[in-house]
């Protein structure tokens, strides 16, 4: 079984959210591995107030989170993995994003069960993984989620993937989780891990 995140793993969230921000007269400047601290008014030197960024984030997920592009190579890799493993999409997103996110996955040929979560992913991953005796893997962009799953499910192989080219230089790494930003290579590594 493979548990896979959506934003910055299967989909180019920062690009899609950035496009949404432009419709509100704002811009995304990626100069750190962060979300709300990268939102600016044009010409401003200080980022938008966090509360305003969060409101825009909620608005994006409520009505526009189906308007992101798939990460390069993700669809093909998932199709290959799906021949040998059950795939669950584990996304930290607001509950009102479920309909749009499910439709987005289906539209792009990634019609796998979607589970929405909030907070660390280790506890929910542990509950899901406990239902299988087969080898398992987990993919996310955030070290906090990877660490959480590794702590709760030590037998699960964890992988870090950062889809957005602009984010990659700023994304922290950890020796606990192999970082593979190329989906064809990542797909092969996941397959090797779950077939051990």
Is there a single domain that holds both residue 25 and residue 100? no
pTM of whole model > 0.75? yes
Is there a single domain that holds both residue 7 and residue 24? no
Is there a single domain that holds both residue 87 and residue 149? yes
What's the domain range around 158? 2-12+69-194
d(CA 162, CA 168): 6
Give pLDDT tens digits for 7-21.
Answer: 999 999 999 999 999
Domain containing 181 — which CATH number?
A: 3.40.50.1000
Is there a single domain that holds both residue 95 and residue 53? no
Specify the number of domains making up the chain.
2
Tell me the CA distances in angstroms from 157 to 68, 84, 138, 168, one per residue in order. 28, 16, 6, 21
d(CA 104, CA 116): 14
Is there a single domain that holds both residue 113 and residue 169? yes
Is there a single domain that holds both residue 176 and residue 110? yes
| 138, β-bridge pairs | 3, 158
Is there a single domain that holds both residue 124 and residue 42? no
Is there a single domain that holds both residue 25 and residue 88? no
Is there a single domain that holds both residue 51 and residue 74? no
Mean pLDDT for the chain?
96
Give pLDDT tens digits for 162-173.
Answer: 999 999 999 999
């Amino acid at each position: 079984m493979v548990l896979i995140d959506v934003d910055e793993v299967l989909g180019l969230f920062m690009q899609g959210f950035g496009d949404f921000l432009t419709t509100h007269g704002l811009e995304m400047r990626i100069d750190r591995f962060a979300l709300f601290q990268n939102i600016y008014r044009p010409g401003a030197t200080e980022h938008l107030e966090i509360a305003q960024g969060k409101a825009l984030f909620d608005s994006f997920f409520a009505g526009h989170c189906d308007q992101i592009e798939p990460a390069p190579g993700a669809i093909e890799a998932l199709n290959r993995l799906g021949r040998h493993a059950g795939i669950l999409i584990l996304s930290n997103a607001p509950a009102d994003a479920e309909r749009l996110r499910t439709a987005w996955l289906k539209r792009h040929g990634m019609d796998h069960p979607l589970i929405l979560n909030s907070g660390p992913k280790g506890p929910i991953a542990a509950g899901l993984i406990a239902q299988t005796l087969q080898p398992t893997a987990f993919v996310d962009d955030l070290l906090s989620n990877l660490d959480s799953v590794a702590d709760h499910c030590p037998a699960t192989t964890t992988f870090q993937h950062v889809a957005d080219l602009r984010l990659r230089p700023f994304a922290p790494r950890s020796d606990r989780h192999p970082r593979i930003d190329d989906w064809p290579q990542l797909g092969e590594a996941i397959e090797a891990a779950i077939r051990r």
